[in-house]
Amino acid sequence: MMEKTKVILGKITFNPEIIGGRACIRGMRITVALVLRLLSSDMSMEEILREYPDLELEDIQAIILTINQSGNY
């Protein structure tokens, strides 16, 4: 059986069976786009972690690192 999930930095996952294949954190239904919207609305990483206790600081850091490396910002 083929693996359906693509993983980036061990944190960001793409699986067509989870939220239509959008980038998620560790296969959870928390999307990268949501975290980026929260950060852009001036919510601190600490506030995000309190609001979404399943997230880890390393999850948010992986998102930021991926965006910085891609140059698409």
Q: What pLDDT sits at residue 42?
A: 94
User: CATH 3.40.50.300: does it fit domain 6-68?
Assistant: no
Pairing mode, strands 6-8 and 24-25:
unpaired
Q: Is the pLDDT of residue 32 over 50?
A: yes
Residue 18 has pLDDT above 60, yes or no: yes
Domain range list for the chain? 6-68
Distance between CA atoms of residues 20 and 44, nearest Å: 28
- Which of 6-10, 22-26, 51-55, 69-73 is predicted with the least confidence, judged by mean pLDDT? 69-73
State the Cα torsion 6-22-64-61 to the nearest 10°: -60
CA 37 to chain centre: 11
Matching residue, tokens 């852009």: 40
